[in-house]
């Protein structure tokens, strides 16, 4: 049995899968905000609950919003700040009495979709989270490719490619740098563009509905969002050229982007056409937790 935990900023979710990917147990709780040790206890309780329900002991994989340093095991770059600077893998292994595998949550998305999702027929799957932020994960041969530094596919924090004069030098990102894609090719970027264009706030879903109804301002904001996402995928194609892109996160549910992205990507690609499939994640919001479980699918 394979147990996966999705450690998010607001909730923790556990799933137990059998070898065929069928769910044996599933449960979620709010992520504790009272301290690091309380978070460790919450994970232990989630594992105990899943194993009690399934009646079997399992391997444990955990997807986190950050990444462990491959040499020290110390977590960095997490917006769940309680785990930054902590040897999370070692602490969890001690608390659970067994080895634990950690991976960035976007890498878990890529693995999930590579094993039995939208990329199951592909050798190289690039998962792109287009939600509140913009992130990426890379699976090769249905396994995480984290890279030598453990930060492969951290696409949210390279600058928006091919910036226009009006875009330069870019918005200030939460990481402290200017122009990061995490502030553009995502729901946050869509809403920020609308606010800067109109001086008013509007939720992403409402902007999309206004675009569909023919509102010219919303159409312009949406068009810039698609163009910026296309620039990210074009750069990734020039560098990685994966067999398939799989999109997850809230903005991946905007169905029209799949028909509009290829032409936009071609304008930036080093080549004369773009043929790579771009697919919506089959497992949707469950991709992260399923991918965490599949970290042990050797």
pLDDT digits (tens, 9 = 90+) for 197-209: 999 999 999 999 9
Q: What percent of the chain has pLDDT over 70?
A: 100
Q: Tell me whether residue 261 is exposed, middle or buried, using C-beta atoms within 10 angstroms of its C-beta: 0 to 12, 13 to 18, 19 or more.
A: buried
Alpha helix locations (H) across the chain? 36-54, 88-96, 105-116, 187-198, 204-212, 216-239, 257-266, 287-293
Residue 266 has what pLDDT? 96
- Tens of pLDDT, residues 276-287: 999 999 999 899
Longest CA–CA separation in the chain, Å: 60
Same fold, 2-108+286-296 and 121-281: yes
* Across 242-260, average pLDDT: 96
pLDDT confidence tier of residue 272, bands split at 50, 70 and 90:
confident
pLDDT confidence tier of residue 214, bands split at 50, 70 and 90:
very high
Whether pLDDT at 79 is above 80: no
This prediction's pTM: 0.92
Q: Which residues contact 166 (CB under 8 A, 6 or more apart)?
A: none
- Tens of pLDDT, residues 126-184: 999 999 889 999 999 999 999 999 999 999 999 999 999 999 999 999 889 999 999 99
Q: Tell me whether residue 222 is exposed, middle or buried, using C-beta atoms within 10 angstroms of its C-beta: 0 to 12, 13 to 18, 19 or more.
A: buried
For 121-281, CATH number? 3.30.420.40
Q: Give the residue extent of every domain in the chain.
A: 2-108+286-296, 121-281
Whether pLDDT at 297 is above 90: no
Structure tokens at 53: 């329900």
- Tens of pLDDT, residues 99-132: 999 999 999 999 999 999 999 999 999 999 999 8
Whether pLDDT at 212 is above 80: yes
Residue 80 has what pLDDT? 79
Mean pLDDT of all residues belonging to the chain: 95
pLDDT confidence tier of residue 58, bands split at 50, 70 and 90:
very high
Whether domain 2-108+286-296 has CATH 3.30.420.40: the reply is yes
Q: What is the C-alpha separation between 75 and 82, in angstroms, rounded?
A: 10
Q: Is 221 helix (H, G, I), strand (E, B) or coil?
A: helix
**What is each CA distance from 133 to 64, 130, 156, 275, in whole angstroms?**
15, 6, 7, 26
């Amino acid at each position: 049995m394979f147990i996966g935990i999705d450690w998010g900023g607001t909730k923790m979710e556990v799933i137990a899968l059998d070898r065929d990917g069928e769910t044996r147990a599933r449960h979620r709780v709010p992520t504790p905000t009272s301290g690091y040790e309380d978070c460790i206890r919450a994970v232990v309780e989630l594992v105990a609950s899943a194993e009690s329900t399934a009646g079997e002991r399992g391997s444990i994989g955990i997807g986190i919003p950050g990444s462990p340093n491959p040499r020290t095991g110390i977590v960095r770059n997490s917006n769940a700040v309680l785990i930054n600077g902590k040897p999370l893998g070692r602490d969890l292994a001690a608390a659970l009495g067994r080895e634990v595998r950690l991976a960035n949550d976007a890498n878990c998305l890529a693995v999930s979709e590579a094993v039995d999702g939208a990329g199951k027929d592909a050798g190289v799957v690039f998962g792109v989270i287009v939600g509140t932020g913009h992130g990426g994960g890379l699976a090769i041969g249905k396994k995480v490719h984290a890279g030598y530094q453990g930060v492969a596919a951290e696409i949210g924090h390279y600058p928006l490619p091919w910036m226009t004069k009006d875009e330069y030098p870019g918005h200030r990102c939460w990481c402290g740098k200017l122009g990061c894609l995490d502030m553009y090719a995502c729901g946050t970027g869509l809403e920020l563009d609308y606010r800067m264009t109109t001086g008013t706030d509007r939720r992403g879903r409402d902007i999309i509905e206004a675009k569909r109804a023919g509102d010219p301002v919303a159409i312009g904001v949406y068009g810039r969002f698609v163009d910026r996402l296309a620039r990210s995928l074009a750069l990734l194609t020039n560098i990685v050229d994966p067999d398939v892109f799989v999109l997850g996160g809230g903005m991946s549910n905007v169905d029209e982007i799949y028909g509009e992205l290829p032409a936009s990507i071609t304008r930036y690609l080093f080549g004369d056409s773009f043929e790579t499939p771009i697919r919506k994640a089959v497992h949707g919001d469950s991709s992260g937790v399923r991918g965490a479980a599949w970290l042990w699918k050797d």
